[in-house]
Amino acid sequence: MPAKKGTGLLMVWCDVPADREDEFNRWYNEEHIAEIVTIPGVLNGARYEAVKGGPKHLACYELESPVAVLGDGFTKRVKSKWSETMGPTIVGENFFNPLYEMIHPDSVSSDMAGSGMAPALQIGRMNIPVERADEWNQWYNSIFVPNFEKVPGVIRGRRFKTVRGEDPLYSVVYEFKDENVSQTPEWEAQLDIDPANASMRALITHGPGSPSIFRKTFEL
């Protein structure tokens, strides 16, 4: 079975004016997603809408590696007439499309490779002081994410580093079975369960709209 996840992730965020939203959704669902997932190295894709934070619209593409977005198949693809008048760079507001490389876990397991696009995502986009990066990353990978992965409804947590774009340097992407997982007592209990959590969390500066929760709205 072809892999559905790799070590790269492309996320495209934007808000859309109300009078353009219907056509924007039709363009994405009827044409654009199908176009992007045929590009070599693009493994899967889906669209999401924010239920907390934002921007409202998110397209998420799973990549074999970040190279998939940097190659000719992506950058030199032929675009339709519709794409000349529609798309997040044309009608979108608060648009950004960071390209990420996975930093946790350190490899793609067979379970991860075989998993589809999650029903819901919680995404944190963050910076921290450079001089604390080693200590903070060790804590995030070994304590913070694994503890949240114990919460019912959490499929997995992955961490990424931005390799292209103006986004904060670090992102965490939790895959949920539904958009309410992080509103539960079990999730709340993990926030301060470890003695290191308070001081490590205090180092974080979130990007605009972060943390955000998204519900899946379209997948091929």
| Rounded Cα distance, 198 and 201, in Å | 5
Residue 171, both tokens: 């992102």
Return the pLDDT at 143: 98
Q: Which of 36, 97, 96, 42 is nearest to 68 (CA)?
A: 42
> What kind and span of H or E run contains 111?
helix 110-113
Q: Which of 85, 51, 93 is nearest to 178 (CA)?
A: 51
> What kind and span of H or E run contains 136?
helix 133-139
94-107: pLDDT as tens digits: 999 999 999 999 99
Stated pTM of the model: 0.97
| Rounded Cα distance, 93 and 20, in Å | 11
| Rounded Cα distance, 88 and 15, in Å | 8
Mean pLDDT of the chain: 96
147-176: pLDDT as tens digits: 999 999 999 999 999 999 888 999 999 999
| Rounded Cα distance, 104 and 101, in Å | 9
Return the pLDDT at 71: 84
Return the pLDDT at 53: 96
State whether residue 147 is helix, strand or coil: helix
CATH of domain 8-218: 3.30.70.100
End-to-end CA distance of the chain: 17
Return the pLDDT at 73: 85
87-123 burial, b if ≥16 CB within 10 A, otherwise e? Answer: bbeebbeebbbbbbbbbbbeebeeebbebebbbbbbb
Return the pLDDT at 72: 85
How far is the CA of 182 from the CAs of 53, 192, 212, in angstroms?
Answer: 13, 14, 11
Residue 32, both tokens: 């654009």
Positions in the chain whose pLDDT score sits under 50: none
Q: Which of 6, 143, 155, 126 is nearest to 66 (CA)?
A: 6
Q: Are 147 and 108 in contact (CB under 8 A)?
A: no
The structural domains of the chain, with segments of one domain joined by +, span 8-218
